[in-house]
Chain A
């Protein structure tokens, strides 16, 4: 087990290394544009060259990469040209905002989707199953930006219940969190529910469930004591992998509602060729994605005795 984790962590570090190098080289292709973004489109070539030189962008790529990587390890992520402050000053702030949004989303989405998945997987083909499956497939077909539009049309434009933007300029406000979370939940819950349903339906068809029913156990006991434990193994993995999806989802939602989070930061950084900010954000995103995958794998083998003991 420890060997597996060590190996996976090693691969993760290697992945991040490769990603950071590729990013550095890709952004190198139009390094000129960094100067243009900072100095404006009407700056002269000389000014741009001077700026690049003054800020150390003309040093060889390798040297710059190594010094950046060294600093990165020490927790110094460089300076953002867009915000003109050290990257770490904004990064953690934005990240914690996104964590709040993610926590609100997951806190509601996971119980909801597991409940729906179990209800519909319990009796495959029943009326309830059909209704839930239909709802799930419809909601997963509506992309986040579309549901952002629909929900704002209802709750902001027509009913005027909720604020249309979530920039939180006046401090934290739960009302402003509702719409972004709703959009993320709406798009995400269907997938988890469908996976839970498939896993539940599979378990319900096994011999031990049939035995439990035939020996006269009350139905709720069959579900809670026998079916659930095995039916929830697969959804666990899916849920962990949803974190990767959420990182994409927050970009759209934060942009749509002007929420000051990590996704919006990453988008802004990419649109402004803010090299160090992009690097730092991407490292965080890749790290989160790979770590959750690792946790999913470990958790899966831990939860599933057939794998644990083989």
Chain B
């Protein structure tokens, strides 16, 4: 019975999206890329890492049959296939990194906001120190120190984003901890962990979901920027930012190598931004 009601809640939450056209468009764009990522092996016409024919413009025919719809890059790999497989990379690392950042940020925020006092002061000081860096400076310093790899990118995102999430969760927690249902739980003798995660956290979900969509967009941009600066995932991996970085030197001769990955990344971020915008609109309405 309880399960059924949870399903109902989630379902009605999803159905809410239909109330905002902006959110619908955003959700459709995101679902499109999710579809591309899941069915990459079916959709991609070529292998993303195999060399076929270098430097072909968009829409050229492959002598061996088939067409390079978006052309090939300097190593002769099909750009469309690389973009399609790159979707998997982006949609693996960005949500994972965002999730890790949220995990850390939420725990920090709940503890800081619920207990207050010295713990809160210490946590706030740490996050203020981290937040006083210009974001990209922090990423570059971390990646330059620990090296560029998938795990390290997740670590860097967690380290740099958790303080921002901490601030939001802390504010929400400080607001919610004086509610009656929290006092009721405390009087019941529930332990602090229960109160934080069962009573407070679910009631803070609204702003957090909106922020998560927005932040995921930023994380995608960040992964793209790191790839662009040559600090992203190691080369053979199809990664949008890395593709743009490789194309940079030849840009004035073969702009198509950079333009298409840029369109891909911008559209995905746009989808997430529209989704978060629409969700905020819906949450403000009631």
Task: Identify A137's interface contact among B135, B140, B273, CB under 8 A.
Answer: B273
Q: Is the CB of A141 within 8 A of B217?
A: yes
Task: Identify B132's interface contact among A19, A157, A245, A266, CB under 8 A.
Answer: A19
Q: Is the CB of B132 within 8 A of A270?
A: no
Nearest CB of B to A191, in Å: 11
Task: Identify B137's interface contact among A30, A141, A285, CB under 8 A.
Answer: A285
Q: Is the CB of B133 within 8 A of A23?
A: no
Is B51's CB within 8 Å of the partner chain A? no
Task: Identify A267's interface contact among B229, B251, B269, CB under 8 A.
Answer: B229
Is B129's CB within 8 Å of the partner chain A? yes
* Per-position binary interface string of chain A over residues 132-154, scored 1 when its CB falls under 8 Å from any chain B CB and 0 otherwise: 00000110111111100110110
Q: Is the CB of A252 within 8 A of B136?
A: yes
Query: Which A residue sits closest to B26, measured CB to CB?
Result: A137
Interface size class on chain B is 35 or more
Nearest CB of B to A19, in Å: 6
Q: Is the CB of B224 within 8 A of A143?
A: yes
Is B134's CB within 8 Å of the partner chain A? yes
Nearest CB of B to A232, in Å: 22
Task: Identify B228's interface contact among A15, A244, A252, A289, CB under 8 A.
Answer: A252
* Per-position binary interface string of chain B over residues 104-138, scored 1 when its CB falls under 8 Å from any chain A CB and 0 otherwise: 00000000000000000000000011001111110
A98 to B117, CA, bound (A): 42
Is B141's CB within 8 Å of the partner chain A? yes
Task: Identify B269's interface contact among A29, A143, A245, A266, CB under 8 A.
Answer: A143
Is A209's CB within 8 Å of the partner chain B? no
* Per-position binary interface string of chain A over residues 11-38, scored 1 when its CB falls under 8 Å from any chain B CB and 0 otherwise: 1000100110001001101100000000
Q: Which residues of B contact A29 (CB under 8 A)?
A: 145
Q: Is the CB of B136 within 8 A of A26?
A: no
- Most B C-beta atoms less than 10 A away, residue of A137, A138, A141, A290: A141
A271 to B132, CA, bound (A): 22
Query: Which B residue sits closest to A28, measured CB to CB?
Result: B145
Q: Which residues of B contact A267 (CB under 8 A)?
A: 140, 229
Is A164's CB within 8 Å of the partner chain B? yes
Q: Which residues of B contact A289 (CB under 8 A)?
A: 132-134
Task: Identify B270's interface contact among A141, A285, A286, CB under 8 A.
Answer: A141
Nearest CB of B to A250, in Å: 9
Q: Is the CB of A271 within 8 A of B144?
A: yes
Q: Is the CB of A245 within 8 A of B134?
A: yes
Is the contact region of chain A dominated by helix, strand, or loop, or is it mixed?
A: helix
Q: Is the CB of B274 within 8 A of A137?
A: yes
Q: Is the CB of A149 within 8 A of B244?
A: yes
* Per-position binary interface string of chain B over residues 217-243, scored 1 when its CB falls under 8 Å from any chain A CB and 0 otherwise: 100010011001100000000000100
Task: Identify A18's interface contact among B129, B229, B241, B277, CB under 8 A.
Answer: B129
Is B262's CB within 8 Å of the partner chain A? yes
* Per-position binary interface string of chain A over residues 238-278, scored 1 when its CB falls under 8 Å from any chain B CB and 0 otherwise: 00000011011101100110000000001100110100001
Task: Identify A142's interface contact among B225, B251, B266, CB under 8 A.
Answer: B266
Is B258's CB within 8 Å of the partner chain A? yes
Nearest CB of A to B49, in Å: 23
A85 to B253, CA, bound (A): 36
A160 to B136, CA, bound (A): 31
Q: Which residues of B contact A153 (CB under 8 A)?
A: 255, 258-259
Q: Is the CB of B262 within 8 A of A251?
A: no
Q: Which residues of A contact B137 (CB under 8 A)?
A: 247-248, 251, 266, 281-282, 285
Task: Identify B251's interface contact among A18, A138, A152, CB under 8 A.
Answer: A152
Q: Which residues of A contact B140 (CB under 8 A)?
A: 251, 266-267, 270
Is A156's CB within 8 Å of the partner chain B? yes
Q: Which residues of B contact A266 (CB under 8 A)?
A: 137, 140
Is B252's CB within 8 Å of the partner chain A? yes
Q: Which residues of A contact B263 (CB under 8 A)?
A: 146
Q: Is the CB of B229 within 8 A of A252?
A: yes
Which residues of A225-241 are within 8 A (CB) of B? none
Q: Which residues of B contact A23 (CB under 8 A)?
A: 141
- What 6 A-B pairs are tightest by C-beta distance, nearest first? A248-B136, A141-B270, A146-B262, A247-B134, A270-B144, A143-B221
Could you name 18 residue pairs across A and B whose Cβ atoms are closer than 8 Å?
A19-B132, A30-B145, A137-B270, A137-B277, A141-B267, A141-B273, A142-B269, A143-B224, A145-B225, A146-B265, A149-B258, A152-B252, A156-B252, A247-B136, A248-B136, A251-B229, A285-B137, A286-B133
Instruction: Tell me the B residues contacting A by CB distance below 8 Å.
Output: 128-129, 132-137, 140-141, 144-145, 217, 221, 224-225, 228-229, 241, 244, 248, 251-252, 255, 258-259, 262-263, 265-267, 269-270, 273-274, 277
Besides the known contacts A142-B266, A150-B259, 14 further A-B residue pairs in the complex with CB atoms under 8 A apart: A141-B217, A141-B269, A141-B270, A142-B269, A143-B265, A146-B224, A152-B255, A245-B135, A248-B135, A282-B133, A285-B134, A285-B137, A289-B133, A290-B132
